[in-house]
Amino acid sequence: MALAGLYSDFGFTICVFLLSIVIQGAADKNPSSALFIFGDSTVDPGNNNYITTIPENRADYEPNGQNGFFAGPTGRFSDGRVIVDYIAEYANLPLIPPYLDPNTDDYTNGVSFASGGSGVLPETNQGLAIDLPTQLKYFDKVQNSLIEKYGNDKTKKVISEAVYFISIGSNDYMAGYLGNPKMQELYTPEAYIGMVIGNLSQSVQVLYGNGARKFGFLSISPLGCLPALRALNPANDGGCFQAASALAKAHNMALKTVLSSFEHFLEGFIYCNSDFYEWLDDRMKNHSKYGFKEGVTACCGSGPYRGIPTCGGTKKEKQYELCENPEDYLWWDSFHATEKIHQQVAQDLWSGPPSSVGPYNLRDLFFSTSTITIADIIDAPAAAAQNYISN
């Protein structure tokens, strides 16, 4: 009898476990929250196609987008998709369009304000990109448009249930500080980081004040290891430009502290934060472990590590080299990662454990199962099992 009871308990436990997986899977198929995107070239789907800027801040030319997913170049700084394209797919959303695309008129699934070359600070690449304050102004227009079209109640629901993905800051340090001697005279590295983080924090609070509650953040990569900065490394030893990477690491630590504090004093604020710096660093050092053959040199460009940004031949230097298979490479061009990296990072953000992302992953933010309890599973096991069989 004791043995029979043991098997019975074990079978019941397995049943509950399997049914919980079924219910999680069913939840993941439900209509998703909207996705609003703020940031730079890491997540720009083509907003810069519609502004006047320099060739370095555009990607609407070949060989960008060459891998066949899109019909041709879209303005994404990649051989194909970028992180947020995968996130939209996982969240059962269509591709999130650029805000400036004249064909974009439905915001119920979200929209992207991201712009290649943009920064948290309006002074970063001023006049050549859509800075974060301007992106926030565009969001205000979207919110007003939703109110006009659907009324206050539906708009509040869309805004409060949406996920706000933010990937920005790299240009503030590369162009805004390291590339700007005047800023280096005016601010110590610590003071400048404080200014960037302060403005980024204020932007998050502005979104929160407008009703946003769920946020995703892509931290800054090891900037000094980008092929372009590796080529500029004053040590000239083949290593990373340590001053740039140090700024990125300090920024990420400061952002982590700020987000933790927001969780305590902004009611209902929940977020997913990443460790993009360590993810890329590990892939550069152990590229074969992640399916790459090359972790330092870019697929497209020229010069050392193909770190001279000539990809596409749209700059002063028209000649460039292009690798045969971008999937073998971590870096697509002198500053940007390949689609394969974007996919791997999106997967980590979507379903990574708390040790990798946290305190929530993006799936938690899009598909909350907090209302489904073990009691629900126990009370209706037959219904859940029948639903599984029918699917």
User: Any idea how long the chain is?
Assistant: 391
Compute the distance between CA of residue 209 and CA of residue 136 in angstroms, rounded to an integer.
Answer: 12
167 has which bridge partners? 39
Residue 31 preceded by cis peptide, ω within 30: no
Compute the distance between CA of residue 77 and CA of residue 65 in angstroms, rounded to an integer.
Answer: 8
Nearest Cα neighbor of 309 from 56, 131, 49 is 56
Between CA 50 and CA 52, with CA 51 as vertex, the angle to 5 degrees is: 135
| Catalytic sites, residue numbers | 41, 333, 336
The residue written with tokens 């064909």 in the block is 103
Compute the distance between CA of residue 62 and CA of residue 66 in angstroms, rounded to an integer.
Answer: 7
Main-chain dihedrals φ then ψ at residue 194, nearest 5 degrees: -60, -35
Compute the distance between CA of residue 215 and CA of residue 185 in angstroms, rounded to an integer.
Answer: 34
Q: Is 324 buried (19+), middle (13-18) or exposed (0-12) by CB count in 10 A?
A: exposed
Compute the distance between CA of residue 347 and CA of residue 159 in angstroms, rounded to an integer.
Answer: 25
Task: State both tokens at 321.
Answer: 């080299």
